[in-house]
């Protein structure tokens, strides 16, 4: 058996792993890289493998950095099934067409633009994939239930376990009966932070021969959520007193629903009053409706809030904007609004228009609630940029910018180590992925020093051959 790291190796986005066993070839995830023009150029490169030779894809969850190149895979000849949880399958119906729309819109904008580098402009004027490609890809999606064991070919079995990251997110357990011997692989996917609102905690896994583990926050702990909520209340209250708006870039799937949950809780508790909340993202609207259709995945606290919300008493004013005209009308709202919009890293979508309007205004505030990859507009804001470029304009950053990492959907360092501590025996080989180099190295070092695990941080394209052969010893 061979395992090759095609993406999310020493970086956070672009999750993609190739497994080859006997005559079977398949991927775990096929994600898009995020982080400016360099990421865009890499997304346009040919796949490292011929998509026509793949038998199937196993998808851990719907976030674009895990699913976003699936339509390109289909476009280039992949015809096999895409297996994922039922909730993820529902979310893909929203996310992949939306991603295709962004590709087409950005290609059209590039075609109209005036760039000095003609070749780069020409490349960007062609979408990575189209709505037609996304719709064709969706026809290949096959939903499966959590904890159901699936036989894939003659020698591979898999099961999806709840990862507690976003709705439908999964840890993958894979059993491969290979010529080199039976081997169990575990892909953590993106692990959720225990005790978070709405979703259940990540499933604990007891054993693995090979563990591929995420490390987004492998070098730091999240702020206590109670303190984070206190800070959010203070920022919203002070911004309202100054006569400004609060702009919240949020991932349409997961983060938007969690923020709405907390704003509802704060209203019910009387800590915030007379809120005017605008969710300016058609995808977030649809994702919220899908979330409500999967109450079986909620924790008890979230179910109680749903019951309160359904009673319709003392609710905040909450409006989902549907049309472009409604979105543009928000530019005329100069104070008292909380505007939640995608994308979460400010790389595309309507959030850029709201930042364009509100960043130059010192009475406004920007609340960053999720991880910002290197090279993204969101990362520039977090790093304290005084000026940023949006739609070709040079914009002064006069609004206050706040980072609230207590809302992160990713497990922090402590939670990652607690999850790893449940393994009854050390895996034969552990690979740390889906983290910037500093975070991945820090987590790997702790697992090596404190757990005694055999750990490495693979670079892009690294291949593991199983069984492992060391001098005088073969490990199965």
Residue 313 is predicted with a pLDDT of 52
The reply to whether 237 and 190 lie within a common domain is no
What's residue 456's pLDDT?
97
pLDDT at 48: 94
- Segment among 46-50, 63-67, 87-91, 222-226 with least mean pLDDT: 222-226
User: Among 357, 381, 407, which residue terminates a domain?
Assistant: 407
Domain boundary among 354, 373, 407: 407
Categorize the per-residue pLDDT at 118 as very low, low, confident or very high, splitting at 50, 70 and 90. low
Assess whether 389 and 402 both reside in one domain: yes
CA 60, CA 124: separation in Å to the nearest integer?
29
Q: What average pLDDT score do residues 134-145 get?
A: 98
Confidence of residue 307 (pLDDT cuts 50, 70, 90): low
Indicate which CATH number applies to the domain containing 446. 3.60.15.10
pLDDT at 116 (0 to 100): 47
- Rounded mean pLDDT of 179-188? 90
Are 239 and 386 in a shared domain? yes
| The last residue of a domain, from among 385, 407, 429 | 407
Contact 413, 220 (CB under 8 A): yes
Tally the domains of the chain: 2
* Residue 295 scores a pLDDT above 70: yes
For the ranges 345-349, 370-374, 413-417, the one whose mean pLDDT is highest = 413-417
**Confidence check: pLDDT of 287 > 60:** yes
pLDDT band for position 462 (50/70/90)?
Answer: very high
Q: With cut-offs at 50, 70 and 90, classify the pLDDT of residue 469.
A: low
- Higher-pLDDT residue of 288 and 392 is 392
Assign 391 a pLDDT band (cuts: 50, 70, 90).
Answer: confident
What CATH code is carried by the domain that includes residue 391?
3.40.50.10890
Helix axes 282-292, 255-268, angle to 10 degrees: 70
Predicted local confidence at residue 105, as pLDDT: 83
151, 215: one domain: yes
Instruction: Report whether pLDDT(471) > 50.
Output: no
pLDDT at 44: 94
For tokens 């290979």, what's the residue? Answer: 178
Q: Residue 314: is its pLDDT beyond 70?
A: no
CA distance linking residue 207 with residue 278, whole number of Å? 45
pLDDT band at 472 (very low <50, low <70, confident <90, very high): very low
The yes-or-no verdict on residue 289 having pLDDT over 50 is yes
Residues 246 and 142 in one domain: no
Q: What would the pLDDT profile of 146-165 be if each residue is shown by its tens digit? A: 999 999 988 999 999 999 99
**Under a CB-based contact definition with an 8 Å cutoff, are residues 424 and 206 in contact?**
yes
User: Where is 38: in which H helix or E strand?
Assistant: helix 37-44
pLDDT-based confidence at residue 225 (cuts at 50, 70, 90) = confident
How does residue 120 score in pLDDT terms, banded at 50, 70 and 90? Answer: low
Same domain, residue pair 71 and 162: yes
Question: Among residues 409, 413, 342, which one has the least CA distance to residue 378?
Answer: 342
Same structural domain, 147 and 91: yes
Q: What is the pLDDT of residue 190?
A: 97
* Mean of pLDDT over the chain: 89
- Range in 40-44, 81-85, 302-306 with the lowest mean pLDDT: 302-306
What is the enclosing helix (H) or strand (E) of 143?
A: strand 141-144
Q: Are residues 162 and 70 in the same domain?
A: yes
Instruction: Please tell me the predicted confidence (pLDDT) of residue 306.
Output: 61
pLDDT classification of 433: cutoffs 50, 70, 90: very high
Residue 460 has pLDDT above 70, yes or no: yes
How far apart (Å, rounded) are the C-alpha atoms in residues 164 and 192?
5
* Alpha-helical regions (H) of 223-373: 225-242, 255-268, 282-292, 300-311, 324-329, 351-358
| Residues 158 and 230 placed together within one structural domain of the fold | no
pLDDT, average across residues 327-342 = 90
Average pLDDT over residues 5-10: 96
Residue 16 sits at the vertex; the CA angle it makes with 459 and 293, to the nearest 5 degrees, is: 140
pLDDT of residue 473: 42
Same domain, 432 and 378: no
Provide the pLDDT confidence category of residue 454 given band limits of 50, 70 and 90. Answer: very high
Domain residue limits at 201: 2-220+410-475
Whether residue 333 sits in one domain with residue 417: no
Q: In angstroms, rounded to a whole number, what is the distance separating the alpha carbons of residues 169 and 392?
A: 36
Confidence (pLDDT) at 137: 98
Lowest mean pLDDT among 187-196, 245-254, 309-318, 375-384: 309-318
Same domain assignment for residues 403 and 437: no
User: According to the model, what pLDDT value does residue 358 have?
Assistant: 95
C-alpha–C-alpha distance, residues 215 and 416, integer Å? 8
**What mean pLDDT do residues 71-96 have?**
96
Structure tokens at 467: 């069984």
Q: Out of 114-128, 188-202, 267-281, 388-402, which region has the weakest mean confidence (pLDDT)?
A: 114-128
Name the pTM for this structure. Answer: 0.85
Interior angle at CA 387, CA 236 and CA 340, nearest 5: 35
| Virtual torsion, Cα 110, 111, 116, 118, nearest 10 deg | 120
């Amino acid at each position: 058996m061979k395992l090759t790291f095609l993406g999310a190796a020493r970086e956070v986005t672009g999750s993609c792993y190739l497994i080859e066993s006997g005559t079977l070839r398949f991927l775990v995830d096929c994600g898009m890289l995020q982080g400016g023009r360099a990421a865009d150029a890499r997304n346009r490169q040919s796949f490292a493998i011929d998509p026509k030779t793949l038998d199937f894809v196993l998808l851990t969850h719907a976030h674009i950095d895990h699913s976003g190149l699936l339509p390109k895979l289909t476009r280039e000849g992949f015809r096999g099934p895409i297996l994922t949880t039922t909730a993820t399958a529902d979310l893909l119906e929203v996310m992949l067409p939306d991603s295709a729309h962004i590709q087409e819109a950005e290609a059209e904008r590039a075609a109209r633009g005036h760039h000095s580098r003609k070749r780069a402009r020409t490349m960007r004027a062609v979408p990575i994939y189209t709505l037609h490609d996304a719709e064709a890809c969706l026809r290949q999606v096959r939903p499966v239930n959590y904890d159901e064991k699936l036989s894939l070919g003659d020698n591979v079995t898999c099961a999806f376990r709840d990862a507690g990251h976003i709705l439908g997110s999964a840890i993958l357990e894979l059993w491969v009966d290979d010529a080199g011997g039976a081997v169990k692989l575990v892909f953590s996917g993106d692990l959720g932070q225990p005790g978070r609102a709405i979703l259940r905690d990540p499933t604990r896994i007891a054993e693995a021969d090979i563990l591929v583990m995420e490390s987004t926050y492998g070098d730091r702990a999240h702020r206590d959520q109670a303190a984070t909520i206190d800070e959010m209340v203070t920022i919203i209250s002070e911004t309202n007193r100054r006569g400004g708006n609060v702009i919240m870039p949020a991932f349409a799937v997961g983060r938007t629903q969690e923020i709405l949950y907390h704003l509802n809780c704060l209203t019910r508790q009387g800590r915030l009053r007379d809120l005017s909340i605008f969710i300016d993202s058609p995808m977030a609207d649809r994702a919220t409706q899908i979330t409500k259709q999967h109450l079986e995945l909620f924790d008890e606290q979230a179910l109680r809030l749903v019951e309160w919300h359904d009673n319709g008493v003392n609710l905040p004013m909450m409006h989902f904007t549907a049309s472009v005209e409604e979105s543009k009308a928000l530019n005329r709202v100069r104070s008292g609004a909380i505007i939640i919009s995608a994308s979460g890293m400010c790389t595309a979508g309507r959030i850029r228009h709201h930042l364009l309007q509100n960043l130059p205004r010192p009475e406004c505030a920007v609340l960053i609630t999720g991880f910002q990859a290197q090279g993204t507009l969101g990362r520039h804001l977090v790093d304290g940029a005084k000026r940023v470029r949006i739609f070709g304009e040079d914009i002064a950053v006069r609004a206050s910018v706040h980072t609230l990492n207590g809302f992160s959907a990713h497990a922090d360092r402590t939670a990652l180590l607690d999850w790893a501590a449940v393994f009854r025996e050390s895996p034969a080989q552990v690979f740390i992925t889906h983290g910037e180099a500093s975070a991945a190295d820090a987590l790997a070092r702790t697992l090596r020093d404190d757990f005694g695990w055999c750990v490495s941080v693979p670079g892009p394209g690294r291949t593991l051959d199983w069984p492992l052969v060391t001098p005088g010893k073969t490990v199965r």
